[in-house]
Chains A and B, each alone.
Chain A
């Protein structure tokens, strides 16, 4: 991962309020959200955000409501102006762009999918999907063929001439995704794109997104408040709390080594067997007697099923045909218990 990140955020601050520039130094000197609100009547949106988003990866920003995640994603295309900091996309400083250049970036570099779909109710499905191309002045025929192609790809052929209100929520969001794909941008911003959908549809949509990502290798920035969703999709996970990044990195790493009681609390609720993968628990190859071969990408749940609960077994871990390590079922079972920072402070007080 030595390549230049696709999107870089450097020291990003956002304070909501009329005198946001003036109170910025208080925040830089360490004033918290509550104090700022109490003494200066300004709301702290984001503080000192430094995130690199790699090309071709899904970066998931996770946090509870009010943590500033939706604010963060709107900074990337400057729907919200930061108080301070740099936003670099492909090495270009988005903050320095003039109005027409910014429009150009929004049209050609990033597309967005919204929580509430935000489709145009007076346009048909195909017209909605073609929205970006129409904005850019493509011919009617090009708009049609591109939009049709992506609508078919997200499984909406036959619905082209319906209106959004005639579709279910899941289908409307498929239109939203087709609209973003039709724009043919490298970067896709997804703001709680699946949060408004019911659980089964949501799983469908997550699978659709992963499938598309396998094929298209876009740079996706995905916002969610759902840890299971975050772990399922993320190549790079960023956890936000009160407008600050408290941990970021590879999701398996965060799960195995949470660095903050807040995150421990968070990760303690999830089904670790389903989320953790062999590569997070394996050890270097040393033994020789194995009960069988497993893949680095297998999740622990499948292994427990395979070993029928026998903790004395050892497996050889394979990656693309070569052995890369070994896995002891005993370690696997231990990994299922969430690690806590100290034995005395078992449950950190919830703030």
Chain B
């Protein structure tokens, strides 16, 4: 006799509920109670949850039906989703595979000078450049050069795509209040959804052997800051300057390229810096779904309890993070320099 029986009786819903609430599948708790020979404890006033109501009235679904329903709904939509998303996202696989192959195929004595040169041209700072060279040397010294390059190539591709998609989305958001209002909750969701949760539907949709699986997960997670800060940056551009641009008859295109984007650049660069950091964070988790790189070693450290392997790989990730952060921050402050007094 369950607590809510009388409630349903009083409401006159007994017929709808079905005579006896026995058809429901047994819950794990019930099963355990049965096997241990103890009677299920009857709470005095249980929370009116689906499972508790189900005990009195089998017409009401159980909680497990909710999760099952979501799963079935997703599986039903899967063929259509896959048919649409597969071709669209296929280039991502090619890009990732291509980048991984390029980074791996280029000999270190060519790759390292290129990376150091990029660091120099982005930052124009001797200190940062030396730090980058030293860090790569350290990684190579402990034979982590190859995996570090794999991680780096994935970040390059994912950050690049995030910027290419995120900046236009941010611009569109800054132009339309309505679009901003509707996208902000989506961005909040992407940012707060636990990172593992991205992976679950993606695994259903794509094969784990495809690189785009982790590519999409990383981009979805990392695109948020660049979108947000592009939108913010453009909205923060001095209204007086915008008015001047209007007063001199600029077209909206001239205004965007000549005034708004250049003035929003420090904010956009800050967004790109955050995007790089977040793709680095996600690339480690993405190793769960076959993303190569330093994350694989971390995972090995956890799975096999190989402390040293995990810690070396972890420090490698920190080094990469610091390199990417310093280089992009130095580039950012260089952009900022033009608008302060020298």
Contact = CB atoms under 8 A, between A and B. Distances in A.
Interface stretch (A27-35, A104-112, A288-296, A342-350): A104-112
Given A122-B262, A165-B340, A79 B243 contact: yes
Contacts of A313: none
A121 B339 contact: yes
Contacts of A103: 249-251
B249 A118 contact: no
Interface string A107-137: 1101110101111111000000001101110
Contact of A163 (B241, B249, B338): B338
Interface string A165-204: 1100000000000010001000001000000000000000
A284 B338 CA distance: 63
A54 interface: no
A111 B245 CA distance: 11
B29 interface: no
Could you say which interface size class chain B belongs to?
20 to 34
Nearest to B337: A163
A297 B151 CA distance: 81
A179 B249 CA distance: 13
Contact of B249 (A106, A114, A116, A121): A106
B248 interface: yes
A59 interface: no
Contact of B263 (A121, A179, A183): A121
A134 B241 CA distance: 16
Name the residue in B238, B240, B249, B339 with the highest tally of chain A Cβ atoms < 10 Å from its Cβ. B249
A35 B221 CA distance: 53
A230 to B, nearest CB: 22
Contact of B247 (A79, A104, A121, A166): A79
Given A163-B338, A163-B339, A135 B250 contact: yes
A54 to B, nearest CB: 22
B240 A118 contact: yes
Given A114-B240, A114-B243, A135-B254, A122 B248 contact: no
Contacts of B39: none
Contact of A106 (B247, B259, B342): B247
Contacts of B248: 106-107, 111-112, 131-132, 135, 179, 183
B341 interface: yes
Interface in B199-251: 238, 240-241, 243-244, 246-251
A157 B262 CA distance: 26
B254 to A, nearest CB: 6
Contacts of B254: 135
A107 B247 CA distance: 8
Contacts, number: 68
B255 to A, nearest CB: 9
A118 B245 CA distance: 9
A111 B338 CA distance: 26
Nearest to A109: B249
A183 to B, nearest CB: 7
A287 B338 CA distance: 69
A106 B262 contact: no
A135 B249 contact: yes
A177 to B, nearest CB: 13
A77 interface: yes
B263 to A, nearest CB: 7
Nearest to A176: B244
Contact of A116 (B240, B246, B259): B240
Interface string B298-342: 000000000000000000000000000000000000000011111
A106 B340 contact: no
Contacts of B263: 120-122
A118 B238 CA distance: 8
A36 to B, nearest CB: 26
Interface in A315-344: none
Given A114-B244, A118-B240, A118-B243, A165 B341 contact: yes
Interface string A138-169: 00000000000000000000000001011000
Contacts of A132: 248-249
A348 to B, nearest CB: 36
B249 A79 contact: no
Contacts of B251: 103
Given A103-B251, A118-B238, A79 B246 contact: yes
Given A165-B339, A165-B341, A166-B341, A120 B241 contact: yes
A135 B257 CA distance: 12
Given A107-B249, A132-B248, A118 B241 contact: yes
Contacts of B259: 120
Contacts of A122: 262-263, 338-339
Contacts of A118: 238, 240-241, 243-244
Interface string A77-115: 101000000000000000000000011111110111010
Nearest to A105: B249
Contacts of A106: 246-249
A119 B244 CA distance: 8
Contacts of A112: 244, 247-248
Nearest to B238: A118
A117 B262 CA distance: 18
A246 to B, nearest CB: 28
Contacts of A166: 341-342
Contacts of B262: 120, 122
Nearest to A115: B240
A77 B339 contact: no
A121 B248 CA distance: 16
A136 B258 CA distance: 13
A112 B254 CA distance: 18
Interface string A197-237: 00000000000000000000000000000000000000000
A267 B243 CA distance: 33
24 contacts: A77-B247, A103-B249, A104-B249, A106-B246, A106-B248, A108-B249, A111-B247, A112-B244, A114-B243, A114-B244, A116-B240, A117-B240, A118-B241, A118-B244, A119-B244, A120-B244, A120-B258, A121-B263, A121-B339, A122-B339, A132-B249, A135-B250, A165-B339, A165-B341
Nearest 3 Cβ contacts at the A-B interface: A106-B249, A107-B249, A118-B244
